[in-house]
Amino acid sequence: MTETDEPEPKGAIPLSESSRIHVNQIGYLPGQRKVAAVVGPVNTRTFCVTESETGRVVFQGELTGPIADATSGDEVWHADLTALSQPGAYRLTVDGVGTSPVIRVGADVLTDITKAVFKAFYFQRCGMALDSSHAGPWHHAACHTADARLPNPDGGWLDARRPHRGGWHDAGDYGKYTAPGAKAVADLLLAYAFAPALGQVSWNIPESGQGLPDVLAECRYELLWLLQMQDPATGGVHHKVTTKRFPGLTVMPEDDTDEWYFSPISATATASFAAVLALASRFYRPYDPAFSRRCLQAAEHAWAWLAAHPEVPGFRNPPDVFTGEYGDPNDADERFWAAVELYRTTGRAEYQDAAIALCNGRVFNPYGLGWADVGGYGAIACLFAAGLEDDEAGGTRLTPAPAHEWPFADELRAGFLALADHLAGRTTESGYLHSLREEDFIWGSNMEAANRAMHLFLAHRLTGDERYAQAARHHLDYLLGLNPLGQCYVTGFGSRPVQHPHHRPSVADGVEAPVPGLLAGGPNRGLQDEAARQHLAGRPPAKCYLDHAGSYATNEIAIYWNSPLAFALAAAWFTPAG
């Protein structure tokens, strides 16, 4: 991610609340629970729902509440719109308050945004030209095609260079980072395992229609880059490859011509690499056995490095490198994830034994789904079977795994569901139906909301308990407009979309609209950039967001923020509601 003090040409004034009625601006599936948030005070408890086009009254109801929403400071009333089951476009009106944005109901309301959120990874591709037939007005020339210098083990840099072409730009800058990339790929692969029908969905990328599902084709582009991050001699994996400093915010990818450098090998990068390559091996086996074998061989080579280096200090930037550090002093969760995935793929006892030892002596959160706290991916691999080749009938491919595989399976499952219960319970206490607390509004808070939706959908898959799916959908509602700012946090979508993300191509390309399908970082009470400090000081945590290109602390984008949103959208789209 990026930090820069440069002035931004696409700035925006601070957000002001133009409406006191907040809804999911993308729409609702017919059978799901539908709630609008009405910010008080209110003079009447009655609300009216009309057809958007005709004004015909559909039904009237009574507001419930109020809820004193702790994270926004709002007095919030709820209008239950679940009775809207017929496809159509509607509006909600409360006398003395106003009228809502259009409320859409239909089986297809998530189609376009889901495709766009997945296609956003194509727009983040490095090392190739994005042509207008696939990228539309956001096309650009090939970028970052020169080889990068290798680190000297004794410090500094060697004259030797190695290719790094391909992969995804990490965020609003152009760096490429191993651990964040591994999380992003894992989320997309798990989305496909959760919702196999995703394999029939195309979003117009160069590989569309060539026999490999678009989601696997896109992940393969990142995986091929990840394979280049591995040292062929030792199996260790470089932490990142970047320039020494971030380029200016108005620099297009192809104009970023500074020299690139492989940062040293790290244990967290190597273990995350081993995990996601072992996971990927299972997914590509039915489509490309040779690539599947290559992924597994690379994963096992990385594990050999980990076994030879049981204690490695956490990564720190070299003295002359000032791009994102992605430091993480604890590599136990990455090693656990790697061991479980390698066991899942190979069935070899040595990996199972390693996973058991790491879990029994764990010093990590076994349910974390971030780029640093990845224990949750190990838990998912323990609790679910995710082998595509196991389901020739085309049904659900992410299914609960046999409990006897792991001595800690019952404990792990109980903890997974206890967290889901806690998150679902929190949604009932929030005026905006999410589970975020004040301390959760940090850099990338929207990733946390999306991760929680992912966790809840997985809990629903484990149990069939509709409470979890409902709470997951409410987290999507929050990200798509049902929040204190009435902001849809995805570029290109909603009645109030993100328009000025901290994203270099969107700033520099001369196109008025930003690249679509990107999730902004979201409210962040830390206010780590000057734009945020200037405009947001003193605001409640849930309102500490600024749609301004200079606000990298609230309005940057990142592949590992988009990826859990992609999972949650796919899960919502293909999970029957109600």
d(CA 71, CA 485): 12
Domain contains 566: yes
Residue 437 structural domain: 111-479+558-574
- Residue closest to 76 by CA, chosen among 41, 107, 108: 41
Residue in 187, 448, 547, 548 annotated catalytic: 547
CATH number at residue 102: 2.60.40.10
* Of 191, 270, 98, the residue nearest 571 (C-alpha): 191
Does one domain contain both 41 and 178? Answer: no
Same-domain status, 401 and 438? yes
Same domain, 153 and 212: yes
Query: Does 57 share its domain with 173?
Result: no
Residue 550 lies in a domain: no
Does residue 242 sit within a domain?
Answer: yes
Clarify whether 502 is annotated catalytic.
Answer: yes
Q: Which of 109, 136, 153 is the last residue of a domain?
A: 109
Contact 521, 499 (CB under 8 A): no
Co-location of 265 and 398 in the same domain: yes
Are residue 146 and residue 69 in the same domain, yes or no? no
Residue 110 scores a pLDDT above 70 = yes
Of 17-26, 139-148, 358-367, 430-439, the one with minimum mean pLDDT is: 17-26
Residue 358 shares a structural domain with residue 272: yes
What whole-number distance in Å separates Cα of residue 493 and Cα of residue 480? 8
Is residue 260 included in any domain, yes or no?
Answer: yes
For 267-318, the pLDDT digits (tens) are 999 999 999 999 999 999 999 999 999 999 999 999 999 999 999 889 999 9
Q: Are residues 471 and 389 in the same domain?
A: yes
Using the predicted structure, report yes or no on whether residue 396 has a pLDDT greater than 90.
no
DSSP 8-state class, residue 547: -
Cβ 209 vs Cβ 202: under 8 Å = yes
Q: Are residues 182 and 236 in the same domain?
A: yes
Six-digit token string for 167:
């992969």
Rounded to 10 degrees, what is the CA torsion of 175, 14, 104, 571?
Answer: 30
Confirm whether 547 is domain-assigned.
no
Look at residue 162 and tell me if it is in a domain. Answer: yes
Number of other residues whose CB lies within 10 A of the CB of residue 544: 25
Domain count, the chain: 2
Considering the candidates 169, 500, 502, 548, report the single residue annotated as catalytic. Answer: 502
184 & 197 share domain: yes
Residue 16 has pLDDT above 90, yes or no: no
> Within this chain, do residues 324 and 182 fall inside the same structural domain, yes or no?
yes
Residue 277 lies in a domain: yes
Q: Tokens 């709820």 map to which residue?
A: 78
Assess whether 74 carries a catalytic annotation. no
Q: What is the pLDDT of residue 6?
A: 37
Q: Which of 517, 474, 488, 521 is nearest to 502 (CA)?
A: 521
Nearest C-alpha neighbor of 303 from the set 345, 360, 263: 345
Does the active-site annotation cover 391?
no
* Whether residue 538 has pLDDT greater than 60: yes
Q: Please check whether residue 65 lies inside any domain of the structure.
A: yes
The per-residue pLDDT for range 218-269, each reduced to its tens digit, is 999 999 999 999 999 999 999 999 999 999 999 999 999 999 999 999 999 9
Of 109, 134, 156, the residue at which a domain comes to its end is 109
Q: What are the pLDDT digits (tens) for 479-530?
A: 999 999 999 999 999 999 999 999 999 999 999 999 999 999 999 999 999 9
85 plus 127 within the same structural domain: no
Query: Model pTM?
Result: 0.95
